[in-house]
Structures are given as C-alpha cells and as structure tokens.
Amino acid sequence: MLLDAMGTTGHALRRAELVRTDIQSVYIAGAGPIGLGLLVVAKIRYGDSMPIWISDISPWRLILAQELGGIPIDVRDPSALSQIGNVDVAFDASGNQLARQAALEAVDRRGVLVCVGGSEGLTLGDVGKELLAPERAIMGSEYFNYNELPDNLELLLANRALIGRLITHTFPVSDLDRAFATFLAGETGKVVVTQDD
C-alpha cells in the first residue's frame, strides 16, 4: 500500500499543490487501483466534505468508488461528464487519451491537470484558449520520492481501515492466472497475490 496506492498518489497530490494551493474540488479519470488510491488519499488529505468526482467504464469500480466517498461518473454515458462542472485539480489515472482530454476540459481557471497514467497522448488545439487565457497547468507525476515514505507510513497507520478497503481481492500465487483475469475484467480494486502455504 505504501508504494502505488499511497506513494504514487500522494506524490501526485503534492505535485498538484505546487500549482494550486487552495484545492476545493477534484476530478479523477479512471477508478483502477491508482485512481481509487487518489480518491482515498485525497479524502484523508482534504477531508470528507471535499467533492471528488471519479469516472470509469466499470460499474463495479464505480460502486466501490462511491463506497469510498467519491462521486461516481459513468463515462459510458457521453453526457455524464457535464455533472462535474469545473474543478481545481483533475488527475488522469486512466492512461486513455479521451479520458485525459475530458479531464483537461474539466479543469477550471488556474487549475491543473496531473497525468498519472501513461501510454496514450494529449492533444492541445488552441493553446491560448486551452492554457494561456485560463492559466491552466498540465504536469506529469510518476511514482514518488523515497523521502515521502515516513509521512505515508504515518498516514497509513492512522487510516489503516480506510486504506485497507482498497484491497478487494487476494489470490495465492498458484492462482495468478485467475488474479490477472479478475483484475483485467475491471471488477477489482487493488489485487494482492500471496505466497502459497
């Protein structure tokens, strides 16, 4: 949990705070383990009352996101993103170009898009309209600095029950094929593989 679920996500939140120190609203594209980790760590960091929208195509993950305190957005409905309005910070944890574009469009004036998921691109049209006039920022965030581990450990120990809810499935290593199939079906949070007894 200290690595991806908290380390990567906590670092991304810290990166966003370099641009926007007064974060009041968040949107997360992608409710996989990193997106769900962003949701939980943001709830801990900013409080339960902060609205955090989180989108995905998996109904199972959207239910889990809602149980963790997020406002689920089912992006299989093209009009669903209009529910978000404008946010201070958007995180792309999907790695999907369309999701990343939508996340940028959700960012308000002087807001920031933080790309945490990789693989696909981001296309800017009119830079003056999309970035300069609204003074938006786009930044990347990959993994974390090891000097952040002590703070993350303290956070984990103080919020073990909530953070532990990110682990939804455990498989023995002898069942690795089923673990991957279950994860790729989009019906898990964090999957843990354990050593066979």
| Average pLDDT rounded to a whole number, residues 135-139 | 84
Domain membership flag for residue 159: no
Rounded Cα distance, 125 and 113, in Å: 16
Question: Does the residue 194 lie in any domain?
Answer: yes
Amino acid code (one letter) for 194: T
- pTM of the full predicted structure? 0.89
Burial group, residue 70, by CB count within 10 angstroms (0-12, 13-18, 19+): buried
pLDDT at 45 over 70: yes
> Any residues with CB less than 8 A from the CB of 173 and at least 6 apart, and which?
193, 194, 195, 196
Please say if the pLDDT value at position 72 is more than 70. Answer: yes
Looking at the fold, whether 189 and 108 belong to one and the same domain comes out as no
User: What is the gyration radius of the CA atoms in the chain, in angstroms?
Assistant: 17
Indicate if 128 and 179 belong to the same structural domain.
no
**Any residues with CB less than 8 A from the CB of 159 and at least 6 apart, and which?**
44
Task: List all residues 6 or more positions away from 77 whose beta carbon is below 8 Å from its beta carbon.
Answer: none
pLDDT at 27 over 90: yes
Q: What is the total count of domains within the chain?
A: 2
Query: What pLDDT does residue 56 have?
Result: 93
> In this structure, are 21 and 72 located in the same domain?
yes
Identify whether residues 10 and 107 lie together within a single domain. yes
Determine the Cα–Cα distance for residues 171 and 7; give it in Å rounded to an integer: 23
pLDDT at 55 over 90: yes
158 inside domain: no
CA 72 remoteness from chain centre: 12
Domain that holds residue 62: 4-140
Residue 157, in any domain of the structure: no
Decide if pLDDT at 68 tops 90.
Answer: yes
Burial of 87 (C-beta count, 10 Å sphere; 0-12/13-18/19+): buried
CATH of the domain at 93: 3.40.50.720
**Residue 197's pLDDT is what?**
65
Q: Is residue 152 included in any domain, yes or no?
A: no
Q: What is the mean pLDDT of residues 9-22?
A: 90
